[in-house]
Structure 1
């Protein structure tokens, strides 16, 4: 069932998709006709049946889906007339998502984990497309709350160490390899991988509070609970698309 026809998705994903649109998806017959597999050096090889089935499942569930998140460029889903798989360091993958905010392609593994490759360095971003949607939906819910943006530097390939005492409850559905959400009714903290192709990895830490007077406490909780070798206050807010003084919070709509 296509996700836009599925009433069982979470309320926040339903809210995220209220502005979605749906273009025609490729049929299973067409995918089988066009299916091809590339070798690591660009040649052709036999197409694994499980790869064909994965592309068909993706197109039936997400094909043609478009929705906006932060900017006017939306998240585009679909094989877009191609049905090619290629070998990656994590198994067979196919190109099926364009991240409009990042303006970069996202590839999908056969188990629906997603991979983004920047500067020739692939990294698994989402544990599933469903998790990706939940993370986007959570961000859409709180992006207009007062918030502060920080950066954290750690060793490459690692995840920040977290002591969850003092943080809101972990949001399992929205949490994946490149982002973690903690939230309750009043505050939310988002830990998101920013760069991974340099000498160190950097993570963005966003703190949100429904009431402005609670934001400072949320920032202090994040600093205390998330461990890395280098904290810094960020001067660019991707949510508001503007520069501000480091450590200066954003108050959308004020």
Structure 2
């Protein structure tokens, strides 16, 4: 069943997909006819049956799906007339998603984990496409709340340690390997890898509070809970698309902060 035909989605995903649209998906026969595989050396290789099954499942469930999140460029899903699988360090993968906000492709592993490759370095971001949708839906729910964006640097390949006792409950459905959420009705925390190449990894910690007066407590809780790295200045808010002084709150209706020319 295509996701836009599924009435059993979570309320927040249903809300996220209210602005979605759908274009035609590839048929299973077309996928089978076009299926090909590239070996690690670039030569053609036999296509594993499980790869054809995975691409078919993906296209039946998500093919042609488009929805907006932060900007006007949406999240595009589909094989887009191709059915090629390529090797990666995490297994066979195919091109299945264009992240409109980052204007960059996202590969899909045969078990539906998602991989983004930047600066030649792949990183598993989501545990599944369903989890990715839940994470996006959670962000859509709280993006207009008062928030603060923090940065934390870790050793390459390491993620920050998190003492969850100081945070809202872990949002299991929205949490993946490098895209994690803790939330309740009043506060939310989003921890996501931002840069994973070079001499250190950079993670972004977004702190949300439904009421502006609660934001300071939320930020202090995050600073206490997230360890194993070095806090770094983060002056860009991707949610509001403007610069701020590091750790300065973004408040609905407030001035938009520093302009790009003021940096």
1:224 paired to 2:227: no
Task: Verify: 1:153 aligned to 2:118, yes or no.
Answer: no
Per-residue Cα deviation, 1:191-220 (whole angstroms, up to 9, x for no partner):
010000111111000000000000000000
**Does the Cα contact within 8 Å between 1:116 and 1:123 map onto a contact in 2?**
yes
Secondary structure at the counterpart of residue 89 of structure 1: coil
The residue matched to 2:138 in structure 1 has which SS?
A: helix
TM-score normalised per structure 2: 0.95
Partner of 1:95: 95
1:211 maps to 2:205: no
The answer as to whether partners of 1:152 and 1:228 remain within 8 angstroms in 2 is: no
Counterpart of 1:68 in structure 2 is 68
Give per-residue Cα distances to partners, 1:100-153, cap 9 Å, x unaligned. 011110000000001111111011010000000000000000000000000001
| Matching residue of 1:12 | 12
In structure 1, C-alpha distance between the alignment counterparts of 2:252 and 2:79, rounded to whole Å: 36
- Corresponding residue of 1:27: 27
Distance 1:78 1:71 in 2: 20
- Could you say what secondary structure the match of 1:249 adopts? coil
Q: Which runs of 5+ in 1 are unaligned?
A: none
Distance in structure 2 (CA, Å) of the matches to 1:229 and 1:69: 29
Q: Is the 8 A contact 2:192 2:205 kept in 1?
A: yes
Report the equivalent of 2:139.
139
Q: Any idea what the Cα deviations from partners look like across 1:42-85, whole Å, max 9, x if unmatched?
A: 11111111100100000000000000000000000000000000
- Separation (CA, whole Å) in 2 of partners of 1:208 and 1:161: 20
Runs of at least 4 residues off by over 3 Å: none
Check whether the contact 1:240–1:252 (CA below 8 A) recurs between aligned residues: no
Match of residue 189 from structure 1: 189
Distance 1:61 1:177 in 2: 22
2:126–2:178 contact (8 Å) kept in structure 1: yes
Structure 1 length-normalised TM: 0.99
C-alpha separation in 2, matches of 1:31 and 1:142: 38
Q: CA deviation at 1:247?
A: 1.9
Query: Structure 2 unaligned runs (5+)?
Result: 255-263
Is the counterpart of residue 128 in structure 1 residue 131 in structure 2?
no
Aligned residue pairs: how many? Answer: 254
Partners of 1:105 and 1:30 lie apart in 2 by 22
Cα distance in 2, alignment partners of residues 233 and 59 from structure 1: 41
Return the alpha-carbon distance in structure 2 between the equivalents of residues 116 and 41 of structure 1. 21
The Cα shift of 1:156 comes to 0.9
Partner in structure 2 of residue 40 of structure 1:
40
Cα-Cα RMSD: 0.8
